[in-house]
Structure 1
Amino acid sequence: MATARVIIVGGGFSGTALAIHLARQSSTALQITVVEPRPTLGGGVAYSTPEPAHRINVPAARMQLSGEEQGAFDRWFRNQPECSLDSAAHCADGAVYPQRGMFGRYLAEQFAAAAKAHPQITLRHIQASAVAWEGEQLLLSNGEALQGDVLALAVSHPPPSLPRALRPFTSHPGLIANPWQHGVLDAIKPDASVAIIGSGLSMADVVASLGTRQHQGSLIAFSRRGQLSRDNLSGDWPEWTLAPQIVPTARAWLHHIRAEVVRAAEQQLPWQRVLDQVRVQGQEIWQSLPLREQQRFARHLRSWWDVHRYRIAPQVSTVIRQRQQLGSLKVLAARLDNIAAKGDRLAIALRLRNGSVETHHVDHLIVTTGPGHAALTASQPLLQSLSQQGVIRADQLGFGIDVDGHSHTLNREGQPNARLFVVGPAARARFGELMGLPQVADHAADVATQILEELQIAHAERCPPSAL
């Protein structure tokens, strides 16, 4: 029997986790190729950052590849020299929050270990980008053409989408459209005045990164609601059990969760335990909502959910709190009303929630509005190729790629493709809670199981797999 071939496009957490789960689950020969332009696997956008201020935003004990190995990363990190060298990683309650790059290194080691532990599996990494799907072949930026029985898309976080008002200023020296490009933050002088559009996790990372560069100038962060990501929970707290809720509307769930928070407070339990349990049930809750209610959630409640669900590490929270107390960081609920160039500086007019307008002259305006998920299918050549051919389509919520309940992509007509999968956050319009661990890890394991089942079906039918 010919060895089955699986191609995974994207070698961040989702793609690397899928490759590892395939190797662990397969009992027969299998060739797994991960196409990823970075030199090592596992990092992706989140975990390849070299910034020392960028930390995982949950304790290391909650980072894993699967539920069966809970605490594996925590144990691994505590055995690394960096654990003792990085004193800031340690919290008073005994939890550790390593720099994010450490988790990327851990994943790369797990990939290498999986290759050694399963000799019937060929695991390889091709350092290139996928550029097109043509004639049943995946074309790569290095000139290679790959053929596979299954293609899995593990592409999750496109580049930030620049707000329309800022597009005429792309060449202005004061505008930093992507703060994660190498060296751009290094050019900011310690006394420079900086405005940041966006007030979520990316903004927090920027403030922390500027802190390591001894920045002391004024900072203004603004977003429509002016909401900061909340602090993570410290200490050992009991689990919370949600009371039943059967009304499938976003409003009903909002009222229910608020009532649960009140009920928890009466028992001296913090709101974080309630939200953690909502997250655990997040996929079930999401899939119980009809599309119109999912759209209402995305339009009205998503930003509130994000700041409570995606919390910041205590080390980053400390930096933000200190700058607020010193008066060098202001967070405003405002939208950009106007922008003008004043030499190398920018004049930004911010319209506050009360209707008044404030004008600020700043040396830099940094964009931290997050990845442009709504434009994912047009964000890179391969997805453009598949979209133009009608092989994939964007989902109706603007979250990513449309899939069915088995993570098969849906084509232009809404028909599933048994040989083309999506793994990770790009599939969250279908599944719901699919941005943080362990949900992404569990999804990777589920997709691995589905892929192996599809390959067994194809073998049983004794016919070559159909074209993608």
Structure 2
Amino acid sequence: MTAQAAVVIVGGGFSGTVTAMRLARHTTIPLRITVLEKEPGTMFGGLAYGWDVTTWDHMLNIQAGRITLFRERAEDFLIWANGEADRAHWPDRWRYRRFEISTVVPRRIFKQYLQERLDTAVQESGGLVELEIRYGRVTALAGQRGQHVLNYIDHANGSVNTIHAGSVVLATGHLPPQTPPFLEVANGHPGYLADQYVPSAQQWFAELNQDAEVIVWGSALSAFDAVVSLVHHGYRGRITICSRGGNMHDTYPADHQHDIWQVRRPPFLDKQVLTAQDVVVGVEREFQHLKDTIPGARRLTQAVFAERVMKAWEPYVVELAARLDPAQVTWLLDRYKSLIVTNRTSTVPEIGDVVRERMVDYPGAPAMIRQVATPVDGVGVKDGRFVVTFGDGKVLCADYMVNAMGNRADYRVSHNELWSKLVGHGDGRLVAAHPVTGRGIEVTEDGRPVAPCGTPASGVFCVGPMRQGDEITRRGRLGAFVFSIGTLRNQCFEVAAAVLHHLMTEDGAGVEQLEPRHAQLYAKAQAWVQEDLDETVRDYLTGSDPAGRRASWHDAERRVSAAVVSMSIEADVSEQTVRALFRAAWRQLEIDVIHGICDIRKLSTWQGETFQSMALRQGDTAGGDATTRHASGTPEMQDDSLATHTVDMAAAQ
């Protein structure tokens, strides 16, 4: 293959950046990667980590030891943050901070990590990769003569442009926030913030009357983000958090450790015919049974107990989704959404305490935040202020309102031009909404969107929140774990491998389409690589010393070059051809080794010796290090898998 293969990634947030990085890291063919992001302020960070939409007080709700971009290198973020990151623009609070496994991380730092790791992958591709970043809003995607054609509106000048690609990755991130009907009256009002994750939102927070009344709609993590923004900008007035059910995330204890339990299969699943009501009653009974029988369960907070049980139940969520009628699955997810979301995960103290501590009255410091858990009758505007009437007849007035209700999940009513055309309604749909959960779209295991007729797309792949329904039904994930860092990290790796396979096979450069003579040479190259490079590749992927890793890699390149010359002479084939075969075999070995190192079904072996030694060194000082521990005390990463940590469950069996 002489010409560059073209990949267009729609979206430059976390998923788009990590997918681009994986493509650059693993390609064996010349590759042009074009990332299309809506605007510069959200490139590399997206809505979650971009500098334009966060402050230095917005933290990741996960500790530093668990946010690596590499499945195979659990310690990578810590190595980068403590030895490679440019801290020139960091505030002093973070400029002189050493990051440990348990350290919380500002989202702005994570954005820098994303950007620098992508830059490094492109630089280390040896000239194979050309990365281009464009800013614009993609409005259409269609196939045309074996290529994919995308239309986008340029961010700078508003012109409509077209770009062609051999493969497309849709990494569009979250849909806009939900807007309940009672808030529609507030649209356009200067005191109403409909979306706190747009670049202009922080300026809105900064310009508020600091002593006014604010209502925050919603009580999950988005509400916590809104409070953090208000506090960051010096707000001193009353904040009222309103939600129908009143469910809020708890705060992890200071000594909290994530753990993974193995629990019995809930007895209600033994019924031949299941209904949604069976699930509701069965879950309540089983929760109580586990609390009564698991040793030490009653010493845990309700939030920690619920989180561990829900993690252990992931295999049974998959079973439920397969057995229940789709309408009942959707009803359960809708009816108990906030309960599921707030129980599946709590908040690190650096986030949760900002809210919880301001809900308490102190002498001379009355509570700043109150919570209202009552259905709303209506919202009106009088004399420029908002007037809210609740179902119990109470009335609340406020100067400002923030929508923190969470993002839309139904892609049939996405309020996004591209997805409206792809999913939408009618016979012209190209992509099917998720048929079981009503959340996201239907995709294959490798992330290809599925058409309403059941045919997977060719050359189009998806990473991110649009796959949340699939994460529920395929892996049993619930709450924020349908698009957590671990979940998306895995999706990006798998999709990058699938994209490269597609480009190579579709363009005739794949090993499946080699002529017999070259296929035999490729088999020999594979055998040589597996025998001679397996240990080197493992050391490179898991090593902690950058200089040592580079030295071992250069040594491997010298050995490969010698093998290429030898095979070229022996087979009377050009060195260029043989080198390409060796490179393909080498990259495939990398992918296979990564799968083996971090098989997420074998969680205890997920991270290598480097991470474990770091964890042991920090064990006495890490506090709530958010790692999982075996009975032996060895920490392990929790990478959102179905792997389990066995506890003494004799009484529960």
What TM-score do the two structures reach when normalised by structure 2?
0.64
2:389 and 2:396 in contact (8 A); partners too? yes
Give the corresponding residue for 2:171.
154
Give the direction of change, closer, same or farther, for the CA distance of 1:253–1:420 in structure 2 (3 Å limit). farther
Give the direction of change, closer, same or farther, for the CA distance of 1:243–1:161 in structure 2 (3 Å limit). closer
Identity %: 23
1:406-443 CA distance string (max 9 Å, x none)? 32111232321122211122111012232112111011
1:165-204 superposed matches below 5 A: 165-181=182-198, 182=200, 183-204=203-224
Structure 1 residue 268, shift from structure 2 partner: 5.2
1:66 and 1:438 in contact (8 A); partners too? no
Which of residues 346, 365, 368 is equivalent to 1:328? Answer: 368
1:49-448 superposed matches below 5 A: 49-79=53-83, 80=85, 81=87, 85-86=92-93, 95-118=102-125, 119-134=127-142, 135=144, 136-142=148-154, 143-181=160-198, 182=200, 183-235=203-255, 237=257, 239-245=259-265, 247=269, 250-251=279-280, 252=282, 255-256=285-286, 259-262=289-292, 263=294, 265-266=296-297, 272=304, 275=307, 278-279=310-311, 282=314, 284-288=315-319, 289-290=321-322, 292=325, 294-326=329-361, 327-351=367-391, 356-375=392-411, 378-387=414-423, 389-396=428-435, 397-432=437-472, 433=477, 434-448=482-496
1:427 & 1:307 partners in 2: Cα distance?
A: 20
1:50 & 1:313 partners in 2: Cα distance?
A: 17
2:24 & 2:284 partners in 1: Cα distance?
A: 41
Give the direction of change, closer, same or farther, for the CA distance of 1:281–1:150 in structure 2 (3 Å limit). farther
Question: What SS does the corresponding residue of 2:29 show, helix, strand or coil?
Answer: coil
Structure 1 residue 8, shift from structure 2 partner: 1.1
1:89 and 1:98 in contact (8 A); partners too? no
Give the corresponding residue for 1:22.
23
Structure 1 residue 399, shift from structure 2 partner: 1.9
Structure 1 residue 240, shift from structure 2 partner: 3.3
Question: What SS does the corresponding residue of 2:151 show, helix, strand or coil?
Answer: strand
2:251 and 2:353 in contact (8 A); partners too? no
Higher mean C-alpha deviation, range 291-300 or range 400-409: 291-300
* Aligned partner letter, 2:150: L
2:29 & 2:35 partners in 1: Cα distance?
A: 19
2:256 & 2:235 partners in 1: Cα distance?
A: 35
1:21 & 1:56 partners in 2: Cα distance?
A: 22
Give the direction of change, closer, same or farther, for the CA distance of 1:87–1:303 in structure 2 (3 Å limit). same
2:306 and 2:343 in contact (8 A); partners too? no
Higher mean C-alpha deviation, range 284-293 or range 441-450: 284-293
1:176-231 CA distance string (max 9 Å, x none)? 22233421112221110111110111111111211122222111111111111121
Question: What SS does the corresponding residue of 1:147 show, helix, strand or coil?
Answer: strand
Question: What SS does the corresponding residue of 1:184 show, helix, strand or coil?
Answer: helix
* Aligned partner letter, 1:169: A
Look at both structures and tell me which one has the larger radius of gyration over its CA atoms. Answer: 2
Higher mean C-alpha deviation, range 141-150 or range 215-224: 141-150
2:295 & 2:260 partners in 1: Cα distance?
A: 8
* Aligned partner letter, 1:74: L
Higher mean C-alpha deviation, range 264-273 or range 149-158: 264-273
Structure 1 residue 278, shift from structure 2 partner: 4.4
1:308-329 CA distance string (max 9 Å, x none)? 2343231222221221113221
1:8 & 1:100 partners in 2: Cα distance?
A: 22
1:281 & 1:77 partners in 2: Cα distance?
A: 35
Structure 1 residue 286, shift from structure 2 partner: 3.8
Give the corresponding residue for 1:465.
none
Structure 1 residue 101, shift from structure 2 partner: 1.4
Give the direction of change, closer, same or farther, for the CA distance of 1:266–1:194 in structure 2 (3 Å limit). closer
Structure 1 residue 394, shift from structure 2 partner: 2.3
1:309 & 1:198 partners in 2: Cα distance?
A: 17
What TM-score do the two structures reach when normalised by structure 1?
0.88
* Aligned partner letter, 1:98: V
Q: Structure 1 or 2: larger strand share?
A: 1
Question: What SS does the corresponding residue of 2:374 show, helix, strand or coil?
Answer: strand
Question: What SS does the corresponding residue of 1:144 show, helix, strand or coil?
Answer: strand
Give the direction of change, closer, same or farther, for the CA distance of 1:120–1:256 in structure 2 (3 Å limit). farther
Give the direction of change, closer, same or farther, for the CA distance of 1:122–1:256 in structure 2 (3 Å limit). farther
2:330 and 2:438 in contact (8 A); partners too? no
Q: Structure 1 or 2: larger helix share?
A: 2
Unaligned runs of 5+ residues in structure 1 are 463-468
2:430 & 2:193 partners in 1: Cα distance?
A: 35
Higher mean C-alpha deviation, range 305-314 or range 191-200: 305-314
Q: Number of residues paired by the alignment? A: 458
Give the direction of change, closer, same or farther, for the CA distance of 1:163–1:266 in structure 2 (3 Å limit). closer
Give the direction of change, closer, same or farther, for the CA distance of 1:238–1:311 in structure 2 (3 Å limit). closer
